[in-house]
A and B are shown apart, each in its own frame.
Chain A
Amino acid sequence: MKNILIYLFLSTFLFTSCEKDFEVAGKKPVYYSYEDSTVIRRLEPKTFGDLGKIVTSGNYIFIGEKNMGIHVINNIDPTAPIKEHFWQIPGNREFTVFGNMLYAENGKNLWVINIENFSKITVENIIINQYYPRFEERYPPGYSGYFECYYEKNGIFKEWKDTMLVNPLCETL
């Protein structure tokens, strides 16, 4: 995975020195802001992907979908649990439930989310800068070509988008 990323420092240097920009079609990362509370909301249940941390409270099981949010499962009948909701929390990995509150991080900030009504969760509060954004090497899957490098400091990864790039620093081979 490591040798796929090629940083074209040399070519950047060359292009800047000739004062002519290198323009090329490629991809760039689209980010969620670490402070955007509007993206936190209840969605319809969805398929399991890359599962993470697990919490139980009352008759419910909460299981994290890495970087995406939390699957909410009604476990009143353990022989037939039901996926009821997906709580979208971009960047989330760590969380716990305390009464009617969900404490959930997004890689940088800690959200306080009111879950009294599972179908309509609302952000109560944000406690900023409790975490250090996680370094992650990201590159467009199944793609070879230039792209704008992903930096976790710029925000939470959302998706890759086709675009024109000027002097891109990253390329997959």
Chain B
Amino acid sequence: MKQTIYVSLFIFLTIFFQNCSQEDISSSTQVGSYSTMLTIGQKLYLVNDSQIKTFDVTDSKNPVLLNTTDLGDEIESLYHYDGLLLVGSATNMYILEINDKGIPEQKSRTFYNNVEFCSNDPIVARNDIAYVTLSSVDIPVCDRPVLDELRVYDIQNIERPEFLESIDMTKPKGLGFGKKYLFVCDQQDGLVIFNIEDPKSPVLSSTFGGFSAFDVIIRNNKLIVACDNELRQYDISDEDNIQFLGAIQI
């Protein structure tokens, strides 16, 4: 009897610790807002130009394709928020819900009402609010006036996102959350910081300029900005007193 208990305890602990370490592995990786590939638990999700694919990566050396779902053209970003996958394309925001088998199901598609091919648009979300940047692309076809703005959507009802407001920017790119601030990269203005204590209406707080910012990752109170040809880091432990840590250039 005693032996059985020890054996069960051993099995329990083995499973317990195994689960722990797996959790650690997946949660220690963080991707920028322009990412199109991410893992959640034992699943790998990726978007190509027009589809979202789900792989089982329980055996990480041998991903098994479980599902392919067609979405639409010009897909550029993939973001995970609370059991949802938010997919950004040049013209639409797609909201998918991950079902109990780990497969994403499309719940809505929100048209940006913009010029096709002429923008890209990563998305981040928190507290039922999604923030999207739309920025113009420098190609000759896009010589018409295009959108350069930060957009705010209420996504509490994932089947019917509600447009709240848009804020003009110069050339907004990737974005990420601090505690009370939203950090938005701008190709011309650098790092543009919005106060989102009222999540529905971001207020411009400050700007760190002098470089061309592309995407951002925030973790452990550090802010990493990927620029066109350098990598900058900031300490944001005190968000009202952000410290520049350094940059790697060339």
Interface of A toward B, CB cutoff 8 Å: 1-2, 47-51, 53-58, 61, 63, 73, 75, 78-81, 83, 94-101, 103, 105, 110, 112, 114, 124-125, 127, 130-132, 134
Contacts and interface: CB of A to CB of B under 8 A. Distances in A.
A98 B59 CA distance: 11
Interface string B204-242: 000000000011010100101011111101010000000
B226 A78 contact: no
11 contacts: A48-B229, A54-B34, A55-B29, A58-B28, A78-B233, A94-B46, A96-B38, A98-B60, A103-B44, A110-B46, A125-B63
Contacts of A124: 61-62
B35 A55 contact: yes
B231 A61 contact: yes
A83 B248 contact: yes
B32 interface: yes
A48 B60 contact: no
Contacts of A96: 29, 31, 35, 37-39, 44
B36 A55 contact: no
A98 B224 contact: no
Query: Chain B: interface residue count, which band?
Result: 35 or more
Contacts of A130: 46, 48, 53
Given A58-B28, A130-B48, A131-B48, A51 B228 contact: yes
Interface of B: 25-26, 28-32, 34-39, 44, 46, 48-50, 53, 55, 57, 60-63, 65, 139-140, 214-215, 217, 219, 222, 224, 226-231, 233, 235, 245-246, 248-250
Contact of A79 (B26, B50, B61, B246): B246
Contacts of B229: 48-51
Contacts of A110: 46, 63
Contact of A73 (B57, B61, B65, B231): B231
Nearest to A3: B140
Given A79-B245, A98-B60, A127 B35 contact: no
